[in-house]
Amino acid sequence: MAQSFAHGNYSHTQKKARGGGGRTGRDQARRTLSQNFVVDPDAVARIVEAVGPHDLVLEPGAGEGVLTRALAETCGQVVGYEVDPLLAGRLAARTRDDARIRVVRGDFLTARAPREPFAVAGNIPYSITSKIVDWCLRAPELTSATLTTQLEYARKRTGDFGRWSMLTVQTWPWYSWELLGHLSREVFRPVPAVDSAILRIERRSQAPDLPGYRAFVDYGFTGLGGSLHATMRLRYPADQVDAAFAAAGVARGAVVAHVHPDLWPLLFDRLHHTG
């Protein structure tokens, strides 16, 4: 969610909190809604550059519209969703004469996905990152999602820790996951406890037909046999598993999370369409 605080000055909120002996109602709302607003112009520019031009962009958590207005400069139509009624009202009033921007007062997660190609972009509430990502992955016409997430989440999903998550592997034949850069916690107000990152999820141009692939990955991540090779030998003939791993170039002792997502479809094809 993006909100403009001149030079990072939000002392009016702090003064109210000190004077009242605690957090203000707005402070509590920001905490409840997981609101940390981008205030650094360079950070906004980096996010917009990562998003790229699109005819239609949906923005979860538009806030007061710093990112919304920046996206409108490069995209045809921006639809900003904001669940906070005060922020939604302010943004709607400020952009009512801008035909490029439409503000929706409501929860992005309840939105119906457009039937035309569209992108999702936003500095999203970190407490519902997984729910927003799941929404994006279910949308048939989504072309890409460029999201500001906690750094740890982005690193986990993109293999930056040297291992791969099950969600990434399950969706890899259809979506690429890329970490496009770090964002210091200092570019947000209030300042969060952790650094952030720009995560890019992009639909691949070719969508393979792999019925049963997701269940195959789910089984592989159970770790029943220790290594992925041993796990697969519990379900498939031993000689077939050996041949599949050799053909895919996967070491027999490889831990499941260390197997690159590119290799999983090869294993799946070998184990399901040979022998």
Query: Can you give the pTM of this predicted structure?
Result: 0.86
Residues 117 and 224 in one domain: no
The annotation status of 61 as a binding-site residue, yes or no, is yes
Residue in the structure block whose two tokens are 């996206």 = 71
Question: Over pLDDT 90: what percentage of the chain?
Answer: 83
Position 183 scores a pLDDT of 97
Q: Are residues 217 and 254 in the same domain?
A: yes
Pick the range with the lowest mean pLDDT from 17-31, 55-69, 212-226: 17-31
Q: What is the pLDDT of residue 225?
A: 83
Pure H helices in the chain: 11-19, 25-32, 41-51, 66-72, 85-94, 129-138, 151-158, 166-171, 213-220, 228-233, 238-248, 264-273
Quote the tokens at residue 83: 């669940």
Does the pLDDT at position 187 exceed 60? yes
Instruction: Name the residue with higher pLDDT: 147 or 29.
Output: 147
The answer to whether the annotation marks 9 as part of a ligand binding site is: no
pLDDT digits (tens, 9 = 90+) for 36-73: 899 999 999 999 999 999 999 999 999 989 999 999 99
Residues 52 and 164 grouped into a single domain: yes
Least trusted range by pLDDT, from 24-38, 91-105, 149-163: 24-38
Examine the fold and report which residue of 203, 230, 247 is the final residue of a domain before the chain moves on.
203
> Could you report the per-residue pLDDT of 234-254, keeping only the tens digit for each?
999 999 999 999 999 999 999
For residues 121-140, average pLDDT:
96
Q: Are residues 188 and 257 in the same domain?
A: no
Task: Decide if 189 is inside a domain.
Answer: yes
Considering only 11-20, 23-32, 63-72, 258-267, which range has the smallest mean pLDDT? 11-20
On whether both 129 and 247 belong to a single domain, the answer is no
Cα dist from 167 to 177, 240, 261, whole Å: 10, 26, 10
Over residues 4-23, mean pLDDT: 35
Total count of domains within the chain: 2
| 107 is annotated as contributing to ligand binding | yes
- The residue-averaged pLDDT of 256-272 equals 97
The answer on 226 and 96 residing in a single domain is: no
Is 82 one of the annotated binding-site residues? yes
Distance CA 27, CA 9 (A): 15
pLDDT, tens only, 72-113? 999 999 999 999 999 999 999 999 999 999 999 999 999 999
Q: Residue 34: what pLDDT?
A: 57
* Cα within 13 Å of Cα(70), Cβ side: 28
234 and 193 both lie in a single domain: no
Domain of residue 179 covers: 30-203
- Minimal CA–CA distance to 94: which of 65, 52, 63? 65
Neighbours of 196 (CB within 10 A): 26
SS3 state at 240: helix
Residue 66 counted as an annotated binding residue: no
